[in-house]
Amino acid sequence: MKIAVIQFEPIFNQKDKNLSKIHSYINNIDAQLLIFPELCLTGYYFLNREEVNEVAETSNSDFIMELQSLSSRINKGIVLGFPEKDYKKQYNSCCVILPDENKSRIYRKTHLFYKERFCFDPGDSGFFVIDYPEWDVNIGPMICYDWRFPESARTLALKGADLIVCPSNLVTNVWQSALSTRALENNVYIAVSNRIGSETRNGETLLFNGDSTIYDYKGNVLVKAGPDDEKVIKVDIEPKKTRLKSFNEFNDIFKDRRPDMYKIK
């Protein structure tokens, strides 16, 4: 199975331009699953709920329906971050659109970063995993700052994820070794799709650091983009290899767990 991560610079509040670029990528990249950055439909740095509300999409909007048609027609999966609205609620979401539309779902970011709390509600989708038999893969999404909490990737892995997809708009570098650890400690692939460029609002500039990376299930970097280049990185993965959680005759990193000894509250 071939996956691709698309690192680019979405333009703030220019949905049509961004969407046109996204469609072009989807049509031209030769891979089964395409992973785009967080909020790449609209750009990132909203200041309040009203700004988000003006550009947010519902789960049955034309934007989603068209991606679904395209996905089904060309048999490619699409993971892509966008602002979602649902009645009075607003979420920092990503769609996981798969050729079989019955499998497509939307993940709503669980852990909100920085000023996102003024724009979005905390996600209520929870961490879920989509099994996709055609490609023999189990896909689990998380978004950006979710990386900071080992429980995010752990929850996805315990629910069966082989591949964690992580659309991001990262503004630091500390995530890099941590996401390698998340891959290692769970024995899963992780694909981080980060954006590049910067956005300035009210005199504050956020610089997005690129370095999009696909890690193998031992935490090794398989392929990595640069810090500021528009780039597509691709790699073949073998999802089912992640399912063997033992690493010697006696140890299995899942069976060895002792949940009664763990405190999470």
| Catalytic residue ranges | 38, 109, 144
Q: Establish if 126 lies at the interface with its own copies (CB under 8 A).
A: yes
Closest CA relative to residue 147, chosen from 126, 162, 168? 168
Among 93, 155, 169, 193, binds its own copies (CB under 8 A): 155
Q: Residue 216 carries which DSSP code?
A: -
Give the residue with the Cβ less far from its own copies, 18 or 209: 209
- The window from 70-78, 92-100, 170-178, 231-239 that contacts its own copies (CB under 8 A) reads 170-178
Stretch touching its own copies by CB under 8 A, among 4-12, 45-53, 79-87, 145-153: 145-153
Q: Tell me which residue of 255, 238, 216, 212 sits closest to 38, measured CA to CA.
A: 212
Is 150 among the residues that bind its own copies (CB under 8 A)?
A: yes
Residues 40-79 that bind its own copies (CB under 8 A): none
Distance CA 201, CA 52 (A): 14
- Should residue 256 be labelled a site residue for its own copies when binding is judged by CB under 8 A? yes
Q: How many helices (H) and strands (E) does the chain have?
A: 5, 14
Calpha distance 39→93 (Å, rounded): 8
Indicate whether 17 belongs to the interface with its own copies (CB under 8 A): no
Beta bridge partners of 92: 83
Rounded to whole angstroms, how far apart are CA atoms 121 and 109? 9
Residues 223-252 binding its own copies (CB under 8 A) are 248, 250-251
- CB-side exposure of 254: number of CA atoms within 13 Å? 16
185 binds its own copies (CB under 8 A): yes
**What secondary structure letter does DSSP report for 39?**
T
Does the protein bind its own copies through residue 92 (CB under 8 A)? no
Contact set with its own copies (CB under 8 A): 110-115, 117, 122, 126-127, 145, 148-152, 154-155, 158-159, 174, 177-178, 180-182, 184-185, 218-219, 248, 250-251, 253, 256-259, 261-265
